[in-house]
Amino acid sequence: MRNVNLYCDSVALTDVELLCLENELIDELMANNEFSTFFYFKTSSRIYQMYKKMLVSKLFSQSELVAYHIVDKAQNGNFIYKSIYDMCENLNISRKNLYNILNDFESKGVIEKEQNGVFLIKDNDYLKKESDKVKMFFENEY
């Protein structure tokens, strides 16, 4: 906004059109209290979520983050991942570290790899204990 580079990438999952607003129109919109309140609320909420995601990688181990991700995304005692790349991107973790953590969980009998990206959760209590602080952090409301 306002000719300032935000240094970010945006990836669309569908076809989109980019809308650019002239500064005069933005000034007019921001003069409207309802619009500016809504705009600042949405902007600050997004910044808060981005900061929270960045902070989580500093506060918790990668093992705790993977355990939380598995528990959070599990369905009927199974964890199914569609893409290791997406999982690594979401967790801000390398594929090598992710595979090492999954292999460690498997060697401890916590999960069991099946076919086509499916892991059977064998010890849900272990995963919940490993991820309890991450869960508390993410579910904290202000």
- Inside any domain, residue 131: yes
Given a cut of 60, is residue 139 above it in pLDDT?
yes
- Inside any domain, residue 84: yes
Rounded to the nearest 10 degrees, how much is the dihedral formed by the CA atoms of 104, 107, 110, 115?
A: 90
Mean pLDDT value across residues 20-39? 91
- Inside any domain, residue 78: yes
| Residues whose CB is less than 8 angstroms from the CB of residue 53 and which lie 6 or more positions away in sequence, other chains included | 92
Strand order in the sheet with 78-80: 78-80, 118-121, 111-113
Q: pTM for the full model?
A: 0.70
pLDDT on residue 2: 58
Given a cut of 80, is residue 141 above it in pLDDT?
no
What crossing angle do the helices spanning 62-73 and 95-107 adopt, rounded to 10°? 70
Number of domains in the chain: 1
pLDDT on residue 142: 55
pLDDT digits (tens, 9 = 90+) for 101-128: 999 999 999 999 987 778 999 999 999 9
71 with 135: CB under 8 angstroms? Answer: yes
Given a cut of 60, is residue 26 above it in pLDDT?
yes
Domain with residue 128: its CATH number is 1.10.10.10
* Residue 75: DSSP 8-state: B
- Inside any domain, residue 119: yes
Query: What are the residue ranges of helices labelled H in the chain?
Result: 23-30, 33-59, 62-73, 84-91, 95-107, 124-138
pLDDT on residue 117: 78
pLDDT digits (tens, 9 = 90+) for 39-87: 999 989 888 888 888 888 889 999 999 999 999 999 999 998 888 888 8
Range of the domain at 115: 60-138
pLDDT on residue 104: 97
- Inside any domain, residue 90: yes
pLDDT on residue 1: 55
